[in-house]
Amino acid sequence: MGQARKKYTQEYKDEAVKLVISSGRPIAEIARDLGIYEGTLGNWVHAAKKSGKLKDKPLDTDERAELRELREENRRLQMERDFLKKAAAWFAKENQ
């Protein structure tokens, strides 16, 4: 017959989720260390974030700088895309 399901206390789940968030290590690695399934720990993390009990750790200075650069690049690429759309429409209209 099948194995009985393991029961974990809410305190254990909360501590495991905090470990995931604070350590920055992958869920799979922490789950292996704790001896639980990766999917189980992933579900706990997802549920904690969804319920608002847990917030992601704030960005550090390097991450903020990278985010700012990526936003600027994204803005520039959107402008280029919009320009190319207009140019393609203009050439299509001219060649009819």
CA-CA distance, 69 to 49, in Å (whole number)? 27
Give the pLDDT of the chain (96 residues) as one tens digit per residue: 567 778 899 999 999 999 988 888 899 999 999 999 999 999 999 998 888 877 666 778 999 999 999 999 999 999 999 999 999 999 888 877
User: Do 72 and 47 form a contact (C-beta atoms < 8 A)?
Assistant: no
DSSP E strands, the chain: none
Tell if the pTM clears 0.85, that is, is over it. no
